[in-house]
Chains A and B, each alone.
Chain A
Amino acid sequence: MSQTELARSAPPAPKGPVEEFTTLAPSPRELMKRRAKSHIGFIVGMSIIVFFCIVAIFAPFLAPHDPYDQNLSARLVDPVWGAKGTWSNIFGTDAFGRDVLSRLMYGARLSLMIGFTAAFIAGVIGVTLGIVGGYFGGKVDAVIVYLINVKLALPVILVALSIASISGGSILVLILVLGLLTWDRYAVVVRSLTQQFRDQEFVLSSLAAGASHARIIFREILPNLTNQIIVVASLDMAIIILIEAALSFLGLGVRPPTPSWGLMVAEARAVMFFKPHLIMVPGAAIFLLVIAINMAGDGIRDVTSPEGRG
C-alpha cells in the first residue's frame, strides 16, 4: 500500500474535541469586533465621519479653489447639474462668486473642530464632576448635584445666543460657550456609574490594598467608564455641531467670511427660491454629519455593551 493510499484510507479525526475547542467563548474584544462588523448603523456612521474627517484634514489639498477667493463677475453660478453649470465649480458659486464646494470642505473643518473641541471641554468638566461626586458622595456630591441641576435648568440655545450677542461671535467664544453649556450629560452618566462602581469588589480590594483615591479613580474607575463617555461624547458632538450651525445662521456664531455651514445656509436664504442648491448643499452636509455621529454613537453603545440596548 502506498503512502497516498494510506492517507486516503485513514479514518477522519474525531469531531467532538476539535469542535469544542474552536467554539470556546470568544474574547470580549473578538465579540466587539464581530458586533461592529455586523452593525450596519455603526459602519455607515463611522464611514461618513471618516469621510468628513479626511475632507476636513486634507481640505487645502482637496479643495479646488481658495474658499475666500471671490469673483463678483461670476456670482451665483449654477452647480454642475444646473443649466449653466461647469465642472470648475461643481456646486456652483455663492453670492460673492466663491466656490461652494471649497467652502463646504473648509466648513467641515470648522464644524468638526468646534464639535470635537467643545465636546472635549464639556467632557473634561462633566467627567471630573461626575467622578468626584459619585466617588466621594456626601457633601461633595450634594454640591455637584446642585451644579448639575442648575445647569439642567439653563436653556442652552438661549444662553449661548445671549453670550454670543454680548461678547460678539468668534470661534473661540463659540467653543468655550458650547463646552461650558453641554457638560451635564457627562456628569449625570458618570456620577451614576461611579456610584455603582464604588461599592464593587475591585474597588474595595484596591482600597484594602492601600491604593490612593487618585489611583482608584484613574486606574480602576475611569477605564470602566470609557465606553459610556464615548457614547455621550458622540451625542454631545452632534448637538454642538447643530448649535454652532444655528448660531452662525443667526449671525451670532462664526464671523463671515470664514466658511461655516450655518453661515452658508444663512447667506443662501436671500436666493432660496431661485438657487435652492445653495441652501440644500450645506444643509445636507449638516444633516449627514449629525446623523452619522448619532448612528456611530448608537453603534458604539450596541457594540460595547449590547445589554444596554433599548
Chain B
Amino acid sequence: MVSTGHVARIAILGTAMTLCAVSGTMAQKAKDTLRIAYLDPISTSDPYIDPQPETTLTSDAVYSKLFVYSPTERQVRPGLAESWTQVDPVTLDIKLREGVKFHDGAEFTADDVVYTFNYLIDPKSNLRFGNNWRWIKSVEKTGKFAVRLVAHGPTPFALTRLATGTPIFPAHLHKSFEGRGEFGRRSAVGTGAYKVEYIDATRGVMLVRNENYVSPGPWSPKPAIGRIQILPIPDVQTQAAQLMTGGLDIILSAPHDQTEQLASMPNIRKTSIENTVYFYLNMDALGRSGVEPLKKVEVRRAIAMAIDRKALAAGLVAGGEQVKIINAPCTDIQVGCTVSNSPPSFDPKAARDLMAKAGHASGFALEITSIFGAHELAEAIAGQLRGIGIRASVNRATMAAYRDRQTAGRLPMLVSHYSSGGLPDVSAVLDFYIGAKPRDYWGDAEIEKLMHAGAVEMDAGKRTEIYRAAFDRMNEMAYVLPIATHPAVLVHARDVEMPSISSLFSGVEYNNIRWSR
C-alpha cells in the first residue's frame, strides 16, 4: 500500500524537478543569455573557409553583407550598401553606408569591400565554393564610400548572391594573417549585430551584443538579446534532454517525431521557419551507375507515381503547415521558382502498369543513397517502392561518401535535401544538378541550354519563362522528383520567440530572436 507520506514525497520531488526545469529557462532569461546547441562544433566564424551550416549561421551574426535579402518582402534590401545603380548589364555602382564601425573600432570603408572581393575572386584563395563569385571580373574603389563592381557578363543573380553568404571582412585584420584561415578563428571581427567573445570547437562560441550596431532597416534589426552562448552537443538526444531540463534554450535540428513530442511539453515550443531548403529524389537517367531500367522515362515516371509525397511530408517532415509539396526543385522564396506542370501524381496501380509496359513487371533491385537529414525519408520511399516491385535498400552515406559516389557515378537514386546555400534565386538549383559533369545524371542538352540562357538573362520576365521551361522539362522526363519543402524547425524554451521565415537555410538570424514578453 502506498502511504500518504510517500505520495507527498513524490509530489514534492516532482514539483522541485519541474521548478528546476522552468527556473533553468527563467534564470537564463534573467541573465539575458540565450543557449543554443550545435550538432557540429565550429572553430571559426569564417563561412568562406568553413561553409558548413553552423558556421554560416554564426557568421551572419558577426559580419554584415552589402545587401540583405528580405524573405518576407521577397526583395533585396540595403545592408552595408546604402544604395546601388545597375549602370549596364555588367556594371554595378554601390554607395556604402557611412559611420559603420568594425567591432575593434576601425571604420568601415570601400577598401574593405574591394579587399574582400579581391580575396574571393583570387584563385589562390582556394575557396571551396569559390565559383559563387567567379562572375565578378573586378571591383574598384570609386570613393571612400563607393565601389564599382564589374561582372564578366550579364549576371541577373548578382544582388541576391551578394546578399547571401558574402560577408565583408576588415581588410586591416584579414590581410595581417599569413594563413587567411586564421582570421575567423583568432580575430573574428566584423560589423555585424554580435561580437565574438570566444570561439572554440570545445567550449563553443560566446556572442555578445554589438551596442554600436546600426540597423539598416527592419529587415536586419538591432539585436534584442544580450548574449548568445553556442554549445557543441553532437547528439540530438542529449540536446533534447538538456532542453527538457532547462540546460538549453534552442535546438536547431531535432527529428520530426522528437520535435512534436518535445513541443507537447509545457515549457517547450517549436517554430517552423520557411527557407530555401527542400527534399528531392534524383534519378540516374544517364545510366552512369549501370542501373539500366532508370534510363527509361516510363520507369522513372512509375517511380514518381509510386511515391506518396503527401504521406511522406505529413508523416516524416517536421514543420507542420509550413511543409509544402513542391512541383519544382525550388521554394517560393527563390526568384524564378515557377512551373506549369507537376510530377506524375501518386497512383500505385498505374505505376505498376507502367512498370509492366516498360518490361519490368517483376521490378528490380535498387540502391538508394541518402544523406544526413534524409535517411528517414529514403527508408519510407524504399518501402513505397516495394509496392511496384522495386527491391530498394538504403545506403546511409556520410557527406564525404556521398560526394565520392556522386563523382564516381555511383548514385542510381539519391534522396536528399538541398538549400541552394540559402541563395534566393533558382540559378543555383540548375547549376546544382547539372552545372558540372560529375554532378550531371541527366545528360539533357535542352535543360543545359536553358540553364545557360537563364544565367545571363537580365529581363526578369523572360528569365522566369526560361526556368519555367526547364522545370517543365524535368517533370516531363521525371529526372528529379521534388518532394516537399524542409523548413528549419527550432525547438525552444517557451520564453523565446522568433519569426517564421528566414533568408538563412540553417536556422534564423540571431538578431531576429527575442525573449517573449
Contacts and interface: CB of A to CB of B under 8 A. Distances in A.
A72 B237 contact: no
Nearest to B393: A255
A211 interface: no
A72 B314 contact: yes
B236 A255 contact: no
B258 A271 contact: yes
A257 B394 contact: yes
Interface stretch (B45-53, B381-389, B472-480): B381-389
A168 interface: yes
B386 A68 contact: yes
A270 B312 contact: no
Interface string B367-394: 0000000011001101110100000111
Interface in B384-411: 384, 386, 392-396, 401
Interface string A254-284: 0111100000000001111111000000000
A251 interface: yes
A228 interface: no
Interface in A85-115: 95-98
B261 interface: yes
Interface string B223-247: 0000000000000110011001000
Q: Binding site of A, secondary structure by majority: helix, strand, loop or mixed?
A: loop
B211 interface: no
Interface string A43-76: 0000000000000000000000000111011011
A95 B395 contact: no
B25 to A, nearest CB: 18
Contacts of A271: 255, 257-258, 261
Contacts of B376: 95-96
Given A255-B394, A270-B255, A273-B237, A72 B261 contact: no
A278 B313 CA distance: 23
Could you say which of B308, B316, B379 has the most chain A C-beta atoms within 10 Å of its C-beta?
Answer: B379
B240 A70 contact: no
B257 A257 contact: no
A258 B396 contact: no
Contacts of A269: 237
B386 A270 contact: no
Contacts of A257: 379, 382-383, 392-394
Contacts of B308: 72
Contacts of B257: 75-76, 95, 270-271, 274-275
B100 to A, nearest CB: 44
A264 B261 CA distance: 20
B377 to A, nearest CB: 10
Nearest to A74: B315
B311 interface: yes
Contacts of B241: 273
B379 A256 contact: yes
Contact of B236 (A72, A75, A96, A270): A270
B239 to A, nearest CB: 12
Q: Which of B261, B314, B384 counts the most chain A CB atoms within 10 A?
A: B261
Contacts of A273: 237, 240-241, 244, 258, 261
Contacts of B258: 270-271, 273-274
A50 to B, nearest CB: 31
Contact of A70 (B314, B383, B395): B383
A72 B382 CA distance: 13
A95 B379 CA distance: 10
A152 B195 CA distance: 54
B393 A258 contact: yes
A72 B379 contact: no
Contacts of A69: 383
A70 to B, nearest CB: 4
A274 B263 CA distance: 12
Given A251-B396, A256-B394, A270-B257, A96 B237 contact: no
A72 B316 contact: yes
A68 B236 CA distance: 27
A274 B262 CA distance: 9
Contact of A255 (B380, B384, B386, B395): B395
Interface of A: 68-70, 72-73, 75-76, 95-98, 165, 168-169, 251, 255-258, 269-275
Interface of B: 236-237, 240-241, 244, 255, 257-258, 261, 308, 311-312, 314-316, 375-376, 379-380, 382-384, 386, 392-396, 401
5 contacts: A76-B257, A96-B376, A96-B383, A165-B401, A273-B244
3 A-B pairs with the lowest CB-CB distances in the bound complex, closest first: A72-B315, A70-B383, A274-B261
